[in-house]
Structure 1
Amino acid sequence: MSNAKQGNGQGNGHERKVTLTSAEGCPIADNQNSLTAGPRGPLLMQDVQLLEQMQAFNRERIPERVVHAKGSGAYGKLTITNDITKYSRAKIFEKVGKETECFLRFSTVAGERGAADAERDVRGFAIKFYTEEGNWDMVGNNTPVFFVRDPYKFAHFIHTQKRDPKTNVRDMNMQWDFWSLSPESLHQVTILFSDRGLPASYRHMHGFGSHTYSLINANGERVWCKFHFKSKQGIKTITDEESAATIAADRESHQRDLFESIEKGDYPKWRFCIQVMTEAQAKQFQFNPFDLTKVWPHAEFPLIEVGELELNRNPENYFAEVEQSSFSPSSLVPGIAASPDKMLQARLMSYADAHRYRVGTNFQQLPVNKPRCPVMHYQRDGFMSVGQGGASPNYEPNSYDDAPKEAPEYAEPGLPLGDVTADRFNHREGNDDYTQPGNLYRLFDEGQKQRLASAIAGALGQARREIQERQLCHFFRADPDYGKRVADALGIDVSEMMPESQTGATN
């Protein structure tokens, strides 16, 4: 029996025929033979299905991640087992028993896409929670700390983990030169070269948010927080000798273990916990609580259980769902926020920027990255946009009732930073936007004023009547004559539009 028939579902008890098509959905009659001028060729340019196949093949690869290039992923759920609403108003935590779908990507950090899973390395532990308030990305590692505390050093550190620019091989001189000149790396180096630098599988290691984050409750009260995921399978590691033997036999050992475990129903689980520190405690703490190279002592800040994370479904297509999955610490939901951690502050920008370069401007529209809640914003167009937003306005502020509006109830409390507070300050409050335009208008001679009013009316007259009336109010506030001239040019009787006392108002 031919493979072609098997592929069409024939000859094995099935009547269903699946017709091969082009990317546009057009049926393909022959996918074995090119269109040629006679049996010996040459090829014809009109063989569009061959051209499509070759052109698509040339574009199958996207740039690999600069860091965390080799990875494995799976879908699952977070089930809340303990009430922490006194710390956070995030809806993902709103009640015990609540389940939220998620996607988790494990990875090696330094290795390229062809790296072996069992190499000694830090492991990435990135989770995308599809909440009803948007996606929350917890982008962490299997270690609670990192090699550097200042983002200025991040790119330099990653360079030392990659290939020497001359020899094109990884070089211990590079790594240890950097580490020996960066004593803040010692904590992470100690973890990396301990037993935990060689986890037996992705299932047998912990995960950490590593950074300090904010949790904000319904009363607008903030605490600082660290996220922990404790493997319910227990910690299991291998030796250098076992690592070498594993790599020799199977470079995809962790990928295979994760996939096969889920396929047979042996779903890996982690206990999700937090550490909490109050703002008052942070001010008096013995070291900077936002330092990514240090942990918070568990004796002083014990783990508080939040829930259980379970992975229970494998992706159907690795490229679409794992390779194109994109995680960013900037993907935060109401009730979970950033902190003064300098490394986190830099990652808020760099991760999303990397995805826009690597995957595309609209990476959030891909199914694995797409929020499960409605998405309403004013971003438009760009590569691979599927027309999100439709015919609604692409600017704001606007006066359309059905356009997205800001929701002040989700505002975070200001963050005190010494003598100043980080917050969103109303730029119009206390500002006079009318005196200087009015002074300028009063400098014009009669002809200039009339031409100004005529030019404005020519453009403003094409807008809706309610927009014209709203703009006229601004002209009147700058100078009553300014407003009246434009109104007359528009053919609008301002005495019908507003009380006489308003037509003469000046600031």
Structure 2
Amino acid sequence: MSDTTASRATLTTESGAPVADNQNSAQAGVGGPLLIQDQYLLEKLARFNRERIPERVVHARGSGAYGYFEVTADLTRFTKAHFLAEPGRRTEVFARFSTVAGNLGAADAVRDPRGFALKFYTEEGNYDLVGNNTPVFFIKDPLKFPDFIHTQKRDPYTGIQEADNVWDFWGLSPEATHQVTWLFGDRGIPASYRHMDGFGSHTYLWTNAEGQAYWVKYHFKTDQGIRTLTSAEAAELAGRDPDSHQRDLREAVDAGQFPSWTLKVQLMPVADAAKYRFNPFDLTKVWPHADYPLVEVGRLVLDRNPENVFAEVEQAAFSPNNFVPGIGPSPDKMLQGRLFAYADAHRYRLGVNHTQLAVNAPHAATARNHGRDGAMATNTGGRAKNYEPNSFGGPYETGEPLYAASPVTGHTGTFEAPSHAEDDDFVQAGNLYRLMSEDEKARLVANLAGFIAQVTRDDLVDRAVANFRAADAEYGDRLEAAVKALRTG
């Protein structure tokens, strides 16, 4: 045996026994049938059949990296969250970026919102912030979410995404007009994950040590600068390198070009919400910076790549209901729906013990609760009693809420929110259009027209155009003319 061979680790079976031959299956004589006693062959084939888990229904195609978040400003007057306590404090973070509609093997350079999910491994447990690279979303009620995603996915008959489905839904959902304007504008296709902003999108609640509460929105501003692709550039890149964004992120981190973002927040005193000119919990709207200016919080830096994409990126589980003291939810209906849906998706995909996987496990301390057993349990609690209350020294509740009580209290059924002057679906979409330069408007109209022109029914086209005209008359007129020109050839 050579020195090189002697120094190599021995290949083993799952049970640890050494493998004698990894090139040939056991046979009953030369040329004879294979033997069922060949445990290694059966184990290897059976394991291969089970290597895949269900992919995410949305955000399936993703990339990730580790890093840290460093506080750069004193925010203690706004939140008692320990990891935001004072300038200079650092917290380890795992970030996952993704497209929304594509499957696991889809191309990166496509016109689609991007997921921007962060897991902060704080000293008080994990805090998950699950957002996008857009400050708004297509819908405002979680009841519509499954239907919306069905329109973006493959049609049950044709097996491909159908323009009729997309524009039928958007045309009947005028609240989507703002996000669609954003998506088909210049920022709809980021050049890379490093060159896009991130947003918490939802409204959240911050509470300080004195119990004072503020509504908050998160803005992660890329320090690399915004870079985007035109539709033509994206189509060429997606065909040449479907893994462009994954490759870019990994190679940048490996080269020591650590991407970073500056976190800024908007803060609204809780009492302002009822009298604000539109519903501040509406996910289809932004808070103008003139009303609530950006306040710097800190800096996110990504400086380490995962060692195994499946173990750490595919199995990373983010849930917006993972809060820490000082941070909580708002009455945002989409957020309320996601508080259930995200965690439930991970229980389905990864199992009830997915929080014990290394990428998901808290760094603060071993989780202490009375959950037990289930598939793949590694932290079983040992001999500790699995009920509460108990008199055997088990973990106990603190009696201190994570965050202040929401001003929306105890209603069942429909809650009648305060009326706001600008609670319509078109004001902010029109404002966004009018902020654009002439060149930006031309590209936006061309991008929209190219997609709408694929629709086969005139009524769907008319309804789609009418929503944009409601946002801005010129916007609708230009879009109508562009679609007509494409459809008549």
Give the TM-score normalised by structure 2.
0.82
Structure 2 residue aligned with 1:166, among 152, 157, 168? 157
Please tell me the residue identity of whatever aligns with 1:207.
G
Cα RMSD for the two superposed structures:
1.6
Amino acid at match of 2:139: V
* Counterpart residue type for residue 391 of structure 2: S
> Which one of the candidate residues 290, 298, 302 is aligned to 2:293?
302
1:156 aligns with one of 138, 147, 168: 147
SS in 2 for 1:297: coil
Q: CA deviation at 1:279?
A: 1.1
**Equivalent residue in structure 1 for 2:4, among 10, 26, 37:** 10
2:317 corresponds to which residue?
326
The 5 Å alignment of 1:89-238 reads: 89-238=80-229
1:376 maps onto 2:368 in alignment? yes
Distance 1:351 1:330 in 2: 8
Question: SS at the partner of 1:191?
Answer: helix
The Cα shift of 1:39 comes to: 2.0
Does the CA contact (< 8 Å) of 2:112 and 2:188 recur in 1? Answer: yes
Pairing 1:483-494 to 2, within 5 Å after superposition? none
Q: Which runs of 5+ in 1 are unaligned?
A: 422-507
The one of 326, 330, 338 aligned to 1:339? 330
Secondary structure of 2:407's aligned partner: strand
- The superposition leaves residues 11-30 of structure 1 with CA deviations (integer Å, 9 ceiling, x where unpaired) of 8xxx7321111122222122
C-alpha contact 2:328 2:402 (8 A) present in aligned 1 = no
User: Which runs of structure 2 are paired with 1:268-283 in the superposition (5 Å)?
Assistant: 268-283=259-274
Counterparts of 1:210 and 1:326 in 2: how far apart (Å)? 19
Cα offset for 1:37? Answer: 0.9
Over 2 Å off, 4+ runs = 409-421
- Counterparts of 1:104 and 1:418 in 2: how far apart (Å)? 34
Match of 1:416 among 403, 407, 422: 407
Structure 1: distance between partners of 2:265 and 2:375: 39
Query: Structure 1 418/392 Cα, relative in aligned 2: closer, same or farther at 3 Å?
Result: closer
2 CA distance for matches of 1:28 and 1:411?
53
Deviation at 1:255, TM superposition (A): 0.4
Specify the alignment match of 1:351 in structure 2: 342
Q: Name the CA distance, whole Å, in 2 between partners of 1:127 and 1:418.
A: 29
The aligned length equals: 411
SS of the residue 1:409 aligns to: coil
- Which residue of structure 2 lines up, in the alignment, with residue 50 of structure 1? 41
Partner of 1:462: none
Q: Which residue number corresponds to residue 468 of structure 1?
A: none
- Cα distance change on mapping 1:75 and 1:415 into 2, 3 Å: same
How far residue 46 of structure 1 moved from its aligned partner, in angstroms, is: 1.3
Amino acid at match of 2:163: M
Distance (whole Å) between structure 2 residues aligned to residue 36 and residue 396 of structure 1: 57
Q: Residues 225-263 of structure 1: CA distance to partner in whole angstroms, max 9, x if unpaired?
A: 011100000000011111111012100000000000000
Deviation at 1:222, TM superposition (A): 1.1
SS in structure 1 opposite 2:257?
A: coil
- When the two structures are superposed, what TM-score results if normalisation uses the length of structure 1? 0.79
Write the deviation string for residues 206-225 of structure 1: whole angstroms up to 9, x where unpaired: 00000000001111221100
Q: Which has the higher contact order (CA 8 A, sep 6+)?
A: 2
C-alpha distance in 2 between matches for 1:237 and 1:199:
4
Q: Equivalent residue of 1:101, what SS?
A: strand
- The residue type paired with residue 147 of structure 1 is F
One-letter amino acid of the structure 1 residue matched with residue 368 of structure 2: M
Please give the secondary structure, in 2, of the residue aligned with 1:416: coil
Q: Which has the larger radius of gyration?
A: 1
Partner amino acid for 1:385? A
Q: What does the per-residue CA deviation read over 1:136-184, in whole Å, with 9 as the maximum and x for residues that have no partner?
A: 1100000000000011111100000001111111100000110011110
State how far apart, in whole Å, the 1-side matches of 2:409 and 2:343 are.
Answer: 29
The Cα of 1:306 is off from its aligned counterpart by 0.7
Match of 2:348, as an amino acid?
A: Y
Q: Could you tell me how far apart the structure 2 residues matched to 1:205 and 1:61 are?
A: 31
Q: CA deviation at 1:416?
A: 2.5
Contact 2:324 2:402 in 1 (8 A): no
8 Å CA contact 2:323, 2:402 repeated in 1: no
2-structure distance, mates of 1:419, 1:391: 39
Q: Which letter does structure 2 place at the counterpart of 1:376?
A: R
Tell me the residue number matched to 1:498: none
Amino acid at match of 1:10: T
Instruction: For structure 2, list consecutive stretches of 5 or more residues without a partner in the other structure.
Output: 413-489
In structure 1, C-alpha distance between the alignment counterparts of 2:333 and 2:386, rounded to whole Å: 33
Q: 1:418: how far off?
A: 6.5
Aligned to 1:220, the other structure's residue is in SS state coil
Whether 2:51 is the aligned partner of 1:60: answer: yes
- Which position in structure 2 is the counterpart of 1:424? none
For 1:211, the aligned partner's letter is H
Q: Give 1:335 shift.
A: 0.7
How much does 1:52 deviate? 1.0
Q: Which residue of 1 aligns with 2:470?
A: none
Partner of 2:276: 285
The answer to whether residue 252 in structure 2 is matched with residue 261 in structure 1 is yes
What is the rounded CA distance, in whole Å, between the counterparts of 2:402 and 2:166 in structure 1? 43
Which digits, 9 at most, give the CA deviation of each residue in 1:325-367, with x for residues without a partner?
A: 1111011111110010110000000000000001111110111
**1 CA distance for matches of 2:224 and 2:150?**
34
Q: Secondary structure at the match of 1:152?
A: helix
Q: Secondary structure at the match of 2:258?
A: coil
- SS for the counterpart of 1:417 is coil
What's the counterpart of residue 388 of structure 2?
A: 396
| Aligned partner of 1:386 among 362, 371, 378 | 378
Q: What's 1:433 paired with?
A: none
